[in-house]
Chain A
Amino acid sequence: MAPSFDTLTEQDLHEEEVEEEVDFSDLKEQYDVKLEEGLDTFIVIDGLPIVPEESRQKLIKFLLRKLNAVGHTSEDAVFMPVNDKSKSEGFAFVEYETPEQAVAAVKQLHGVPLDKKHTLSVNKLMDIDRYGREGRIEEEYKPPTVEPFKEKEHLRSWLGDANARDQFALFRGDKVGVFWNNKGNEPENVVDRAHWTQLFVQWSPKGSFLASVHPQGIQLWGGPSFTKQKQFPHPFVQLVEFSPNESYLTTWSARPIQVEEGQPVLSYEEDGKNIIIWDIATGKPLRSFVSHDLTAGPTGEGDQPKKKVQWPAFKWSADEKYVARMLQGQSISIYEAPRMNLLGKTSVKIDGVMDFEWSPATTQREGIKQYEQLLCFWTPEMGSSPARVGMMSVPSKEIVRTRNLFNVSDVKLHWQSQGTYVCVKVDRHSKSKKSLATNLEIFRVREKGVPVEVVDSLKDTVINFAWEPNGSRFVAITTGEAVAGAAVAPKTAVSFFAPEKKGHQLGSFKLVRTLDKKNNNAIYWSPKGRFVVVGTVHSQTSFDMDFWDMDFEGEKPEGEKDFAANLQLLATVEHYGVTDIDWDPTGRYVVTSASSWTHSMENGWSIHTFSGNTLAEHPTDKFKQFVWRPRPATLLSKEEQKQVRKNLREYSKEFEEEDKYAVDIANTAVVETRKRVINEWTAWLRREKEFLAEEREAYDLPENADEAKLAKDARPEAEEQGETVVEEMVEEIVEEHEEVIG
């Protein structure tokens, strides 16, 4: 039996073999006989006044007024028993029309005062049956035992590693492990558990929790030994998303939830919903929703629009105060966390809205004093009105900036990580709708009036775009039209952009360099900026990755003097079948991996330095997922960080010494183990030889018992002769002629 979610313990996870059982749950659900179905609609009301039989009807009528406020019932459905003294007993049974009404009655009427002396206590009949049956309740009151306070494991203990190493989670086969990164050496294992997750694992954005996904729900793990922290029982959950500061969790399942009787966490409110937003601290659902589907892309005439799940369905503002969801084409609903009430009690109606993005940081616009969060959205052309990109300030819901666009096919919104810029990638078609080109419209959010700069030097469509984290440079990958039916993807071009240097101010964005005839399709910036990996992933034919430095400390090419960048290719690395590229949270290492989720060829992962120096390769069977554990933002002030940077040379000396020492230790350790191993081996051989001699004696066999049985051809003396020399006789007829002797 697979362990049930409620009773899932760590021992279960360590079990090597969990028998796979046929999943009957769908059938069970369909044919399950609910024995007590009929009683779901009954409630028991206690705490009523004891009245003589005559005034019973009066009491019932009085009671009905209250009862009907929460559901539908009638006089006939109220049964108030009378004892032999013709007095009522002080309780009554009531039947509602539906179980939901009964639940509502319990929720709303329990503890409600009837008059000054009497307070109703309302319970479901089934609960009384379940908990109140004779023998189940002890006669004497026993105070509940308060568990002594147990200190929980520290959720951020990994940050205290003496060598500031990073952790990562590795999912391969059916095992998930967490490891310390040891650069080129074998990673050090922290925990390794079989069947730790069903679908995938995910770190929370600040690295405190590791989420595992099970058919029964989500579990969060944390602390030095990865103990169970919280669980969120969302049946058949498929997707999970954390809020930026790890306070909330959004879960989604394609199957609407069916709340069953006795579910401790979910209530009838969650019934039929797909999405639940949870409070991580309490483990309780905050609110649940039915998901809206997206229509995927423009659809042809008469085609059924393809349904696509919108994920993340709920997008959080940077400070977690607001969470918003879009109903495509109609409106954006903004909720206030943690109460989850609709901001201003209405959704923001935006006709045709296609997509929106929150600013990833709380931005201060120039001249604006009050608190605000910004979000960007766009609407396509509709009839004669142009396409539009808008910026909304929340909580005022005011649209603070708009820009009209024409001939728009598609738009993507890219915020820079500090919310300084937002780049609107506009794919434009020509009048004939035959060719496409991309414009980049960059909003400078922090400048007065939010000016927009247009970059239209790109001829082709941009297939990928990425801002430098905390910087003001970006990389775009463009490609020409794909030739229909061609087996090979069209060549791409990689373009690097940087602002012009104008004293302290940063000027307009200019193209630094374009590299043509590449195959690259993916951009991965170092989380600390400056370095960027431009790679080719999910490709059948090319697997190269270019490691670039944007601030190379060397000679600058003459033509690029004015740019706030000095571009230099550091290295090109190939990793066959690469599907994912991940920077570690400190920007020191890059891991490239080939996951068996995509293909089954040479699965595994490799670790490189930021400069493209490959440290180690780890071919791993059935490798699925590699995820670095994120780190929370640094606690050092700007000044302190500067100080560190200034003294880098001194620190590096220290670290180099440490590294050298570690290598020495490791080497001695290797030599020691080798010595031990070889001594063990020779000892084993010697012992075995003795055993053999003993046995030979016991069987009374001669010394040469294993020698060949003699036959004529045997050459026992060959041993002494050593090497056998094989002589090769080659006869060649040089010439042949006939002589007649006369």
Chain B
Amino acid sequence: MRPILLSGHERSLNQIKFNRDGDLLFSVAKDKIVCAWWSANGERLGTYNGHQGAIWTVDVSPNTVLLATGSADNTVRLWNVKSGECVKVWDFPTAVKRVEFSPDGSRLLAVTEKRMGFLGTIAVLDIAYGDGQGGNLEAQAEEPDLRITCEDAKATVAGWSYLGKFIIAGHEDGSVSQYDSKTGDQIENIQAHEFDHQINDIQFSADRTYFITASKDKTAKLMSTRNLAILKTYVSDTPLNSATITPKKEYVILGGGQAAMDVTTTSARQGKFEARFYHKVFEDEIGRVRGHFGPLNTVGVHPKGTAYASGGEDGYVRVHHFDKPYFDFLYEVEREQLKR
């Protein structure tokens, strides 16, 4: 199907997120506005206004009641998805680069930047859902329940494991660590990517037993949540900004491209601004989707695996609904296995 072009942002995209039902798509960009879209037709549902700086990250609670955003204005804001009101503002000493709700929605983690003498931290906030009827959402804890400080290399991205048991963080130096989400102790740290090649994205599988990392070292890795074992490696020819795992089909989608500052020094002929599909198990590249005219900063996939969206440095979000051949495609080996 023809991709739907969502042109609601004036600056480069930073993150996009489908809600758990997949009917809504949230996008944040450097232009201080959060947009909510119907994923089916690309119509804009509304915006959430209030941030004073570029918004780095967005996440929606599993029940689509609350929306959390983190911004360069050093705040995390909580919004009522339905009404668009800002229900809570948490102030941090530095910019917030990543927020994510725990799988049950009861907690929210926020990754803060290392700057001006402050070390990078991962803060965990308890989230309450008011009276359960969408009222009294303002009643939230004032202070974080837990703070994990990253002494060595700052965390750039983080997410929750299955059952909310661990927090998995990707670091500036290319390592991935596993923290106990109750105590904040680091359990494991693995140099998953090349040293000093920042990890730009972490996204989890549906059951959160494994996740994919995207790094500046031009590779994406599939890792086990339980012990951080590297299961698969996807090699590309460009620095990667984002990666996601598709449900239903055994694929992963990678997004990246020459960084804006490098474009002039590298081949102008092709910036490699394509979404790349790899087979999750076989690690082969299967296809590419063109369209963006800047690097892809973020990719997201519909929770039912029927569509994916990508947000680029060019300020556009492109929503692609998969066609039949996408679902039909199988390796001979897979087909045999299905028959059995």
Segment at the interface with B among A260-268, A282-290, A348-356, A691-699: A691-699
B200-243 interface bits toward A, Cβ cutoff 8 Å, 1 = contact, 0 = none = 00000001111000000000000010100001000001000000
Q: Which of A635-693 contact B (CB under 8 A)?
A: 671, 674-675, 677-678, 681-682, 684-685, 688-689, 691-692
Q: Does B332 contact A (CB under 8 A)?
A: yes
Known: A708-B20, A724-B23. A692 touches B333 (CB 8 A): no
A560-591 interface bits toward B, Cβ cutoff 8 Å, 1 = contact, 0 = none = 00000000000000001100000000000000
B163/A705 in contact, CB under 8 A: yes
> Closest CB-CB distance, A701 to chain B, in whole Å?
6
A689/B104 in contact, CB under 8 A: no
Chain A neighbourhood of B63, CB < 8 A: 708-711, 713-714
> Closest CB-CB distance, B332 to chain A, in whole Å?
7
A709/B209 in contact, CB under 8 A: no
Chain A neighbourhood of B269, CB < 8 A: 576, 602
The CA-CA distance from A718 to B304 in the complex, in Å, is 12
* Contacts A681-B281, A710-B63, A712-B132 known; 16 new A-B pairs at CB < 8 A: A678-B334, A699-B163, A701-B163, A706-B103, A706-B162, A706-B163, A706-B164, A706-B207, A706-B208, A708-B62, A709-B62, A711-B130, A712-B134, A713-B63, A718-B21, A723-B306
Name which of B23, B165, B207, B333 has the most chain A CB atoms within 10 A of its CB.
B333
A709/B281 in contact, CB under 8 A: no
Our pick among B65, B209, B226, B266 for the contact of A713 (Cβ within 8 Å) is B65
Chain A neighbourhood of B210, CB < 8 A: 688
Q: Does B38 contact A (CB under 8 A)?
A: yes
Chain B neighbourhood of A576, CB < 8 A: 267, 269
A681, closest chain B residue (CB)? B281
Residue total for A at the interface (Cβ-Cβ under 8 A): 39
A602/B267 in contact, CB under 8 A: yes
A711/B132 in contact, CB under 8 A: yes
> Closest CB-CB distance, B246 to chain A, in whole Å?
15
* Range, interface on chain B: 35 or more
The CA-CA distance from A651 to B61 in the complex, in Å, is 70
A726/B132 in contact, CB under 8 A: no
Known: A711-B63, A724-B23. A688 touches B104 (CB 8 A): no
Chain A neighbourhood of B183, CB < 8 A: none
The dominant DSSP class at the B interface is loop
Our pick among A602, A675, A705 for the contact of B333 (Cβ within 8 Å) is A675
7 contacts between A and B (CB under 8 A): A600-B266, A695-B162, A695-B165, A701-B163, A707-B104, A711-B129, A726-B23
Q: Does B187 contact A (CB under 8 A)?
A: no
User: Which chain B residues have a beta carbon within 8 Å of chain A's beta carbons?
Assistant: 20-23, 38, 40-41, 43, 61-65, 81-82, 103-106, 129-130, 132-134, 162-165, 207-210, 224, 226, 231, 237, 265-267, 269, 281-282, 304, 306, 331-334, 337
Known: A671-B333, A675-B333, A701-B163. A706 touches B104 (CB 8 A): yes
A709/B106 in contact, CB under 8 A: yes
Chain B neighbourhood of A600, CB < 8 A: 265-266
The CA-CA distance from A188 to B162 in the complex, in Å, is 42
A708/B105 in contact, CB under 8 A: yes
Q: Does A619 contact B (CB under 8 A)?
A: yes
A708/B61 in contact, CB under 8 A: yes
A709/B282 in contact, CB under 8 A: no
The CA-CA distance from A696 to B161 in the complex, in Å, is 13
Our pick among A689, A692, A715, A728 for the contact of B43 (Cβ within 8 Å) is A728
A283-310 interface bits toward B, Cβ cutoff 8 Å, 1 = contact, 0 = none = 0000000000000000000000000000
B65/A714 in contact, CB under 8 A: yes
A677/B282 in contact, CB under 8 A: yes
Q: Does A601 contact B (CB under 8 A)?
A: yes
Chain B neighbourhood of A718, CB < 8 A: 21
Q: Which 7 A-B pairs have the closest CB atoms?
A: A708-B62, A714-B63, A708-B63, A706-B103, A601-B267, A726-B40, A674-B333
Chain B neighbourhood of A677, CB < 8 A: 281-282
Chain A neighbourhood of B306, CB < 8 A: 723
A685, closest chain B residue (CB)? B209
> Closest CB-CB distance, B116 to chain A, in whole Å?
33
> Closest CB-CB distance, B142 to chain A, in whole Å?
20
Chain B neighbourhood of A723, CB < 8 A: 304, 306
A674/B331 in contact, CB under 8 A: yes
> Closest CB-CB distance, B248 to chain A, in whole Å?
13
The CA-CA distance from A713 to B331 in the complex, in Å, is 41
The CA-CA distance from A707 to B208 in the complex, in Å, is 13
A692/B41 in contact, CB under 8 A: no
Chain B neighbourhood of A713, CB < 8 A: 63-65, 81-82, 134
Chain B neighbourhood of A577, CB < 8 A: 267
Chain B neighbourhood of A695, CB < 8 A: 162-163, 165
> Closest CB-CB distance, B91 to chain A, in whole Å?
25
> Closest CB-CB distance, A720 to chain B, in whole Å?
12
B163/A674 in contact, CB under 8 A: no
The CA-CA distance from A729 to B129 in the complex, in Å, is 31
Our pick among A674, A685, A688, A728 for the contact of B41 (Cβ within 8 Å) is A728
> Closest CB-CB distance, A689 to chain B, in whole Å?
7
> Closest CB-CB distance, A228 to chain B, in whole Å?
31
A678/B333 in contact, CB under 8 A: yes
The CA-CA distance from A696 to B209 in the complex, in Å, is 13
A678/B281 in contact, CB under 8 A: yes
Chain B neighbourhood of A674, CB < 8 A: 282, 331, 333
Name which of A674, A688, A709, A715 has the most chain B CB atoms within 10 A of its CB.
A709
The CA-CA distance from A470 to B106 in the complex, in Å, is 81
Our pick among A675, A692, A708, A715 for the contact of B162 (Cβ within 8 Å) is A692
B207/A689 in contact, CB under 8 A: yes
The CA-CA distance from A708 to B133 in the complex, in Å, is 14
> Closest CB-CB distance, A235 to chain B, in whole Å?
33
A722, closest chain B residue (CB)? B304
B265/A678 in contact, CB under 8 A: no
A696/B163 in contact, CB under 8 A: yes
Known: A674-B333, A708-B62. A724 touches B21 (CB 8 A): yes
Chain A neighbourhood of B61, CB < 8 A: 708-709
> Closest CB-CB distance, B167 to chain A, in whole Å?
15
The CA-CA distance from A577 to B337 in the complex, in Å, is 45
A714/B64 in contact, CB under 8 A: yes
Chain B neighbourhood of A691, CB < 8 A: 209, 226
The CA-CA distance from A553 to B285 in the complex, in Å, is 41
B163/A711 in contact, CB under 8 A: no
B104/A709 in contact, CB under 8 A: yes
A711/B65 in contact, CB under 8 A: yes
The CA-CA distance from A127 to B183 in the complex, in Å, is 70
> Closest CB-CB distance, B328 to chain A, in whole Å?
18
The CA-CA distance from A677 to B21 in the complex, in Å, is 32
The CA-CA distance from A707 to B23 in the complex, in Å, is 18
The CA-CA distance from A715 to B208 in the complex, in Å, is 21
> Closest CB-CB distance, B20 to chain A, in whole Å?
7
> Closest CB-CB distance, A457 to chain B, in whole Å?
39
